[in-house]
Amino acid sequence: MKPHTSRYWIIKYTIVTFALFTPLLWSFRYIRNAYPFTVWNVMMAGGDLQTGRNFFVLRGETVSGQTIDIRPIKLTNALSARTWTMVSATVFNQNFRLSSLHPENTRLLDQFGSVEKLPLGARVPELLTTWGNLYNNQLPSSSPARLKAIRLDMYRWSSGRYADYDTFVESWRKEL
Amino acid sequence: MSRFFSGSALSLGVVRTIVCGTFLIATLATSFQALGQLPVTILRPTGLMKFIPWGFYERLLTPVGMYSLKTALLLSLLLSTMGFLTSASTKCSLVLVVFYQGLVRSFGHYNHDEMVAVYYLAILAFTPCGDAFSFDHWLRLKKPNQPPFAYGFPVFLMQLLMAWVYFSSALVKLRVAGLTYLSADNFPVLAIFHSLDNLHDTNFRLAFWLPQIRSVLPFVVGLVLVWELLFPLAVFWRRSRWLMLGLGIVFHIATLLFMNIFFPYQLAMYLVFVDWDWVAGWMKRS
């Protein structure tokens, strides 16, 4: 590269700085994330003991009859730190509340009439099938540890105290 | 002020290697093949990703599509880590990384760990970061012939960005929650919630011990807020730098152990605060 003057770099870096910080300041001002720009609003609301919270546990039923916990991070490690929100969004049909729906989701939505009429977790079976197959593919076909079914159990912590964390709510099960 | 902006080509080259190398290692360790098997119907494109048609996602989330994306990412990141054809390879890495990070956020949520590193990549793409500590330099394709400002300002900008992350994070908490953020239940409730499922990357259970010490937790949370607000000192007052960064390491390890939330990229990006010219000089001397 030919040598440039300091003036050239001052102009260039001024543009880079504005291009980067203007959207970041906008995100901060309105507390809005618009990928790839963000506001660092992690844990901004804080925790409240009286607010109920749902959580999920992924489990498998093996050929030998055991029920085991399955950690999805070992199956789809690309979703690191994002698996729990993906599951929650899928259970609550957030993928049917987009401005532009996937054609398959549009078709399903047309059958039911509206998002409110959709069963909870309309696409959870597909997700479970994927995780079940990924788990079984790690094992030899004769292994008794292979899964015959996989399920997602939903619980709610709504006791309002530091006890009774896991009130069972619902389960989705998929035979493999 | 000029002492903040002055830097060397070597220092900028090392930073390029760290930023691109971090993404390269993470890409190597990630199973794109498994990601490609997830149903496209659960995707919720976020931000810029909304402009991409569904047909493209359909083709991408296949074994061939994901293999192609991983190959392109690895090749581009390898070149930019090595500093070969740096001007083109850093821009290419930026585009591919922004796309990939947007894709994984379209499955889950807009988490923040990698974002600082993404912005660092954006800064590097418009700098002469291949003028030293690079194959371009060793092959005599590039030489450090720019004024010190050209090499120093990008590193200053990266440090400023890191300071913005923590400083703005504290301000947002105070804006949204106000002083209720210091309530005794804030930290234990969040920590326990993130420790109940088996969908987080780790499964530490230390959170369940927090209710026993809930009376002291407002002070702990308050100290974290003060540390976040004071983080800009790490940029402007060098003597405080290692204290602020040391507290940052403790903070992120604590969020891992108590909340199962970890920011490895952000910790790796702390390395932009190291004086790499001093390190190079020390290595030469010894």
pLDDT of amino acid A45: 73
ipTM value for the complex: 0.94
Query: Which residues lie across from A68 on neighbouring strands?
Result: A60
Give the phi and the psi of residue B164 in degrees, each rounded to 5.
-60, -40
Q: How far apart are the first and last CA of chain A?
A: 59
Model pLDDT for residues A30-88, shown as the tens digit of each residue: 999 999 999 988 877 777 888 889 999 999 999 999 999 999 999 999 998 999 999 99
Min distance B144 CA to chain A CA atoms (Å): 9
Which residue do the tokens 């002291």 mark?
A: B216
**Contact state of B142 with A1 under an 8 Å Cβ cutoff:** yes
Tell which of A8, A28, A86, A151 to mutate to test the B interface (max B CBs under 10 Å): A86
**Which chain B residues touch A176 with a CB distance below 8 Å?**
none
pLDDT of amino acid B177: 87
Cβ contacts of B132 within 8 Å, gap of 6 or more: B8, B9, B10, B12, B13, B144
Mean pLDDT over the full length of chain B: 94
pLDDT of amino acid B1: 60
Contact status, residue A44 vs residue B176, Cβ threshold 8 Å: yes
User: Which is nearest to B196 in space by CA: A40, A172, A56?
Assistant: A56
Which H or E run includes A154?
strand A147-157
Q: How far is Cα A134 from Cα B285, in angstroms, rounded to an integer?
A: 52
**Which chain A residues touch B118 with a CB distance below 8 Å?**
36
pLDDT of amino acid B127: 97
Interface contact B30, partner A, CB < 8 A: yes
**Which chain A residues touch B186 with a CB distance below 8 Å?**
46-48
Low-confidence ranges of chain B (pLDDT < 70): 1-2
Q: How far is Cα B184 from Cα B124, in angstroms, rounded to an integer?
A: 43
Nearest CA in chain B to A89: B108
Contact pairs from chain A to chain B, CB under 8 Å: 233
Helix B115-124 and helix A6-30, axial crossing angle in degrees, nearest 10: 160
Tell which of B162, B196, B221 to mutate to test the A interface (max A CBs under 10 Å): B196
pLDDT of amino acid B30: 96
When CB atoms are compared, the residue of B101, B122, B183 closest to A46 is B183
When CB atoms are compared, the residue of A57, A70, A81 closest to B261 is A81
User: Which is nearest to B144 in space by CA: A16, A1, A6?
Assistant: A1
Tell which of A1, A7, A97, A137 to mutate to test the B interface (max B CBs under 10 Å): A1
**Contact state of B176 with A31 under an 8 Å Cβ cutoff:** yes
**Which chain A residues touch B13 with a CB distance below 8 Å?**
none
Min distance B95 CA to chain A CA atoms (Å): 11
Other beta carbons within 10 angstroms of residue A91's beta carbon come to 21
Contact status, residue B188 vs residue A57, Cβ threshold 8 Å: no
Model pLDDT for residues A126-164, shown as the tens digit of each residue: 999 999 999 999 999 999 999 999 999 999 999 889 999
When CB atoms are compared, the residue of A48, A58, A134 closest to B199 is A58
* The token pair that represents B67 in the structure block: 């293999």
**Contact state of A123 with B173 under an 8 Å Cβ cutoff:** no
Q: Is the model's pTM score more than 0.90?
A: yes
Which residue do the tokens 């004086």 mark?
A: B275
